[in-house]
Amino acid sequence: MLSNTGFDLWADNYDKDVGISNEENCYPFAGYKKILASIFETIMAKPHLTVLDIGFGTGTLTAKLYEKGCEIYGQDFSSQMLALASAKMPGAHLYQGDFVKGLAEPLANKRYDFIVSTYALHHLTDPQKYTFLRQLLERLNDDGKILIGDIAFETREELENFRQTVGDDWDQEEIYFVINEMKREFPQLKFYRFSCCAGMISIEPENRA
């Protein structure tokens, strides 16, 4: 698993590396631009929203939301990523913190219209994901949603088959989403596939599903 130091070292080349993988339509970032566009369009359906981005990286997604008038909050565990994102969004409320430990204190008592995370939560174990997602659901406004863009598979068998196809390029330290297993914890979850290995996950509070 990458440490915050690892992400600091990757920060300057991150967007370039992601772009290459996306354009070649290969693991791990196949479908990346389509996923971010779908999240952006979903949020833009309503004006002037408050958005929390977990693992905002260099601000690729949230900078565009910021430009459109969204109030942006965010948490990332890389100080260098935070510096790059802050330069794009000087009025955003961005904090450094390891989300394995939950939300940073300034973020934990607010409510949000959307909580988004792209290619970040796969650094958590499945139990850590579920605990954190339950915490995030409690921070949503009445009509709020969690939107996750990440590497994800419908079943464990599909994941294993894809892992065999990827071979040595497979990242053994990352823990990808398995949708039918997640639905045991979040029956209201919806999944939209965008590539051979990734898609968008949408979760609302269960009493609204």
pLDDT in tens, 104-135: 999 999 999 999 999 999 999 999 999 999 99
pLDDT for position 25: 75
For residue 169, give the CATH number of its domain: 3.40.50.150
Per-residue pLDDT band at 2 (split at 50, 70, 90): very low
For residue 137, give every residue at least 6 positions away whose Cβ sits within 8 Å of its Cβ, in sequence order, or none.
Answer: 146, 203, 205
Average pLDDT, the chain: 89
pLDDT for position 109: 93
DSSP for residue 168: G
Q: CA 148, 154, 155, 160 torsion: positive or negative?
A: negative
Residue 129, Cβ neighbours under 10 Å: how many? 18
- Judge whether residue 177 has pLDDT over 50: yes
CA nearest neighbour of 51 among 159, 139, 181: 139
> Which of 75-84, 106-115, 150-159 has the least mean pLDDT?
75-84
3, 78 contact by CB (below 8 A): no
pLDDT for position 13: 46
Q: CA 68, 106, 14, 31 torsion: positive or negative?
A: negative
Share of the chain above pLDDT 70, in %: 88
> Domain containing 76: what range?
4-208
Rounded-to-integer distance, Cα 23 and Cα 31, Å? 9
pLDDT for position 206: 86
179, 154 contact by CB (below 8 A): yes
Pair type for strands 50-54 and 71-76: parallel
The tens digit of pLDDT for each residue in 37-78 reads: 999 999 999 888 999 999 999 898 999 999 999 999 999 988
Count of structural domains within the chain: 1
Which tokens hold the place of 25? 């339509």
DSSP for residue 103: S
Whose structure tokens read 């510096």? 83
DSSP for residue 111: -
Which tokens hold the place of 55? 């693992």
pLDDT for position 14: 45
pLDDT for position 16: 46
Rounded-to-integer distance, Cα 76 and Cα 1, Å? 15
Higher-pLDDT residue of 9, 37: 37
Pair type for strands 112-118 and 93-96: unpaired
Mean pLDDT of the region 134-160: 97
- Judge whether residue 158 has pLDDT over 90: yes
